[in-house]
Amino acid sequence: MKTLATLPSLTNKTVFVRVDFNVPLKDGTIRDDNRIVAALPTLKALLAKGAKLVLLSHLGKIRHKDPTKLEGDIKKNNLTIVAPHLASLLGVKVDFSEATRGDVLNQKVKALQAGTILLVQNTRYEVGEEKNDLGLAQAWADLADAFVMDAFGSAHRAHASTAGLPTLLKQKGKPVAVGYLVEKELLALAKVVKVEPSARPYVAIMGGLKVSDKIKVLEELIDKCDKILIGGAMTYTFLKAQGKHVGNSPFEGDQLDFARHLMEKADSKLVLASDFVSTNSFDNPTVFETYEGEIQGEMMGMDIGPKTIARFQAEIAKAKTLFWNGPMGVFEKPQFTQGTLAICEAVRQLGKSAFTVCGGGDSAAAVAQFGFMDDFSHVSTGGGASLEMIENAGHLPGIDVIED
Ligand code: ADP
Ligand code: MG
């Protein structure tokens, strides 16, 4: 992998950096600047090498195909306010380009001084970004002397800023590399993609909402791991596939065959949640019951129960490698945090005796919310990207393009 250390001298060179400034905004302010702060080490290292930096990032979703939504999306997902914030964090000049290509952008890039930064408006304002449009990638490639990929959360997407641009630069013999953030993610995730016998047992924990979102990763994990623990709402699809009653719990009728296939293939490797904290209403829960085996009546399962927690904790205690994706229950509601919290606590108990990774947008949010960030060896910043790493034997389009 080409890292920052492999880059030649960058004095007065224009380096395009794909960052992840997809930060939550509210009422014109940045609600959480973690992603900006996380990019600083890479930016500082490049500035220290005397480079001029042009930063590309997307922000939110821009629905180009839906004219009724487009204007609102553009207004909502404006990167402008990130520039002064970045300037204050770094103590260097950060200019902003409203233009994402063309004369105005070209002039701003030409006017850049070594050791300063130009942040470009949301790449998704360009309809060609998500299509990996060659013309767009070319417009950026014409301005760049080098490219650094530091947006891990976007590395599973072959877009103009993540794939097209570095591909063109490589063709021209220009240097490309991954930044520190991506390097850290790759080193950590490699250890759950390919697990040596000495790092086993490998325990995977899967939860969250839908089986259909996670078909490929479930298939892969069943091959790779020694035990796979299944909780969260996806459990009810497995229960249903076994002919059990799930009441009003969510399940996916079109995934029953797949669930049966997985259970057969995994055999004793698969440990399915067996008791369920259940309630009468998702929005207004007033009745609470814990059921074993199946859900009763019209109730809906909201979290794993105490027997499942004990079983899962016993399996986790044996792990030398652990990968976790998807909350065990509706952890956003205070009555249903126990299962997800219990996973965090079991990982804390493991301490340094195992290599532990959490990958998933909501599961990582739970880890942060409950205060367990330091108890995991790695909490991935890219939910979808971390799952795709496992699905595709460690390959992502935005990473493969950087490799030799
Ligand atoms: P991740 O982002 O970590 O991959 P998902 O997006 O698949 O996770 O799922 C997260 C969501 O699953 C959470 O919002 C959580 O409330 C929901 N969830 C988990 N368990 C249940 C359940 N038993 N019933 C309903 N929703 C659940
Ligand atoms: Mg999610």
Q: Which H, E and C letters describe 188-251, residue by residue?
A: HHHHHHCCCHHHCCEEEEECCCCCHHHHHHHHHHHHHCCEEEECCCCHHHHHHHCCCCCCCCCC
What is the fold of 4-178?
A: Rossmann fold (3.40.50)
Residue from 156, 205, 206, 209 to probe ligand 1 pocket by mutation (most atoms less than 8 Å from CB): 209
Active-site residue, selected from the candidate residues 13, 35, 49, 240: 35
In the numeric block, which tokens belong to residue 242?
């076994």
Domain boundaries, the chain: 4-178, 185-391
Give the residues of the chain that fall short of pLDDT 50: none
Please say if 157 is a catalytic residue: no
Tell me which residue has tokens 């709402």.
Answer: 233
The strand pairing partners of 26, in sequence order, are 29
- pLDDT in the model for residue 336: 98
Q: Does domain 185-391 have CATH number 3.40.50.1260?
A: yes
The strand pairing partners of 228, in sequence order, are 204, 270
Per the CB < 8 A criterion, the answer to whether 304 and 238 are in contact is no
Provide CB contacts within 8 A for 223, sequence distance 6+. none
Is the overall model pTM greater than 0.85, yes or no?
yes
Please say if 184 is a catalytic residue: no
CA of 333 to the centre of ligand 1 (A): 11
Closest ligand 1 atom to the C-alpha of 325?
3
- pLDDT in the model for residue 88: 97
Residue from 344, 357, 362 to probe ligand 1 pocket by mutation (most atoms less than 8 Å from CB): 362
- pLDDT in the model for residue 27: 84
Distance, in Å, from the CA atom of 210 to the CA atom of 362, rounded to the nearest integer, reads 13
The strand pairing partners of 379, in sequence order, are 358
In SS3 terms, 73-85 reads as HHHHCCCCCHHHH
The strand pairing partners of 118, in sequence order, are 54, 95
CB neighbour class for 115 (10 Å; exposed up to 12, middle 13-18, buried from 19): middle
- pLDDT in the model for residue 1: 87
Per the CB < 8 A criterion, the answer to whether 148 and 46 are in contact is yes
CA of 205 to the centre of ligand 1 (A): 13
Please say if 361 is a catalytic residue: yes
| 4-178 and 185-391 have identical folds | yes
- pLDDT in the model for residue 55: 98
Active-site residue, selected from the candidate residues 174, 210, 311, 333: 210
